């Protein structure tokens, strides 16, 4: 009986850990409110910042009709793509990674917020 209980506890813990690593798009939509004053993730409209619709998998500094800072354009040179790994480096401290960027956002320090925000950016419709 103890073995069964330990096995069940392990399975529950392992599945909960895997789910949290993937992020929650609904929770990510709440985190995105911090970004919403300057960006949209559900429309191709640029605001103070470029649209983030389809950002995951998109080349850096590539939104048409958006005037990027020279720092962001230089950062994107060489074909960098906004994948999950690059977003995880950028979002905690945008100004540290891209010195001279116009983005004044102080960054996301919480790993769960990063997981959730990336899940939302990958699929904003999942938060509906």
Residues in the chain: 128
Number of CB atoms found within 10 A of residue 50's CB: 23
Beta bridge partners of 81: 59
Rounded Cα distance between 122 and 117, Å, is 9
Cα–Cα distance list, 96 to 89, 93, 103, 105, 113 (Å): 10, 5, 11, 11, 19
Task: Give the orientation angle of helix 25-32 with respect to helix 111-122, to 10 degrees.
Answer: 100
As separate numbers, helices (DSSP H) first and strands (DSSP E) second, the chain gives 6, 0
- Which parts of 24-83 fold into alpha helices (H)? 25-32, 70-76
pLDDT in tens, 29-80: 999 999 999 999 999 999 999 999 999 999 999 999 999 999 999 999 999 9
Give the model's confidence band at 1: pLDDT under 50 very low, under 70 low, under 90 confident, else very high.
low
Is the entire prediction scored with pTM above 0.85? no
pLDDT in tens, 86-117: 999 999 999 999 999 999 999 999 999 999 99
**Average pLDDT of the chain?**
88
């Amino acid at each position: 009986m103890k073995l069964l209980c330990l096995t069940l506890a392990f399975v529950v813990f392992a599945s909960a850990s895997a789910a949290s690593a993937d992020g929650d798009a609904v929770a990510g939509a709440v985190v995105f409110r911090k970004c919403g004053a300057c960006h949209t993730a559900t429309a191709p409209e640029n605001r103070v910042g470029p649209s983030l619709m389809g950002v995951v998998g998109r080349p850096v500094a590539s939104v048409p009709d958006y005037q990027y800072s020279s720092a962001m354009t230089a950062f994107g040179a060489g074909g960098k793509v906004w994948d999950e790994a690059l977003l995880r480096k950028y979002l905690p401290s945008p100004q540290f990674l891209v010195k001279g960027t116009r983005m004044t956002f102080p960054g996301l320090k919480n790993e769960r917020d990063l997981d959730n925000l990336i899940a939302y950016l990958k699929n904003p419709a999942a938060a509906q």
